[in-house]
Amino acid sequence: MSIKGVETRTRILREALGQVSKIGFEGLTLGPLADQLGLSKSGLFAHFGSREELQLAVLQLAAEDFRREVLEPAVHQSPRGLRRLLAILKRWFNRYPEGGCVFLAGSAEYDDRPGAMRDALADFHLQWRSALATALRQCQQLGELEPEVDVDQVAFELFAIAAGGHHDYRLYGKQAGGRVKAAVERLLRSCGAAPEKLIWK
């Protein structure tokens, strides 16, 4: 693969990711994508052996973006414990007003269609859930959350709040933000978090 090869490939993937976050993976079609990039349909197609390969590459790019923009800055900038957990959640939920979440939309599109896309999506969610559980476990070790709570259960409930908030964001607009915040606070409070430590700085 030449220099120009990887350049156009990433150009394609960036544009494709933008389109997917608006119209979903199934809405992504080669013709309009090629037009938007000033390429021919077959020229674009040659970079990936099939449409599914393109979709998988887009999903992988989205996953890399997500880790880089949500998890990594929170880990680097905030100390272990509630501070870091809240930093993660803030960066996570702040993505929703910006546009549709490709992981939630993707799950809805492929949950009844076995194949590589479904597998990759299931894997992403599993990894993310485990990252949340790790952050929660560190809170426990610091005594900021009660030791008897099931961190996997709490990770599920955080994800559920995200899913519900995303739904309301997409359907009813920005008013959903307050609901998400209040839900997280109630959840963490019920796990023994001190109210004065729940600051969304």
CB of 38 to DNA, least distance (A): 6
The span of 31-39, 68-76, 140-148, 169-177 binding DNA (CB under 7 A) equals 31-39
> Are the C-beta atoms of residues 102 and 17 closer than 8 Å to each other?
yes
In the chain, what is the greatest distance between 2 CA atoms, to the nearest angstrom?
59
The span of 28-36, 38-46, 82-90, 178-186 binding its own copies (CB under 8 A) equals 178-186
CB of 165 to its own copies, least distance (A): 7
Of residues 90 and 129, the one with the C-beta less far from its own copies: 129
Alpha carbons 53 and 63: distance in angstroms, whole number = 15
Alpha carbons 9 and 3: distance in angstroms, whole number = 10
Alpha carbons 7 and 149: distance in angstroms, whole number = 48
Q: Is 103 in the site for DNA (CB under 7 A)?
A: no
Q: Is 179 in the site for its own copies (CB under 8 A)?
A: yes
Figure out which of the listed residues 13, 20, 28, 62 binds DNA, where binding follows CB under 7 A: 28
Provide CB contacts within 8 A for 96, sequence distance 6+.
162, 165, 166, 169, 176
Helix and strand element counts for the chain (H, E):
10, 0
Query: Which two tokens mark 54?
Result: 């393109």
List contacts with DNA (CB under 7 A).
1-6, 8, 28-32, 34, 38-47, 49-52
Q: What are the residues binding its own copies (CB under 8 A)?
A: 22-24, 26, 100, 104-105, 107-109, 111-112, 118, 121-122, 125, 150, 153, 156-157, 159-165, 167-168, 170-172, 179, 182-183, 186-187, 189-190
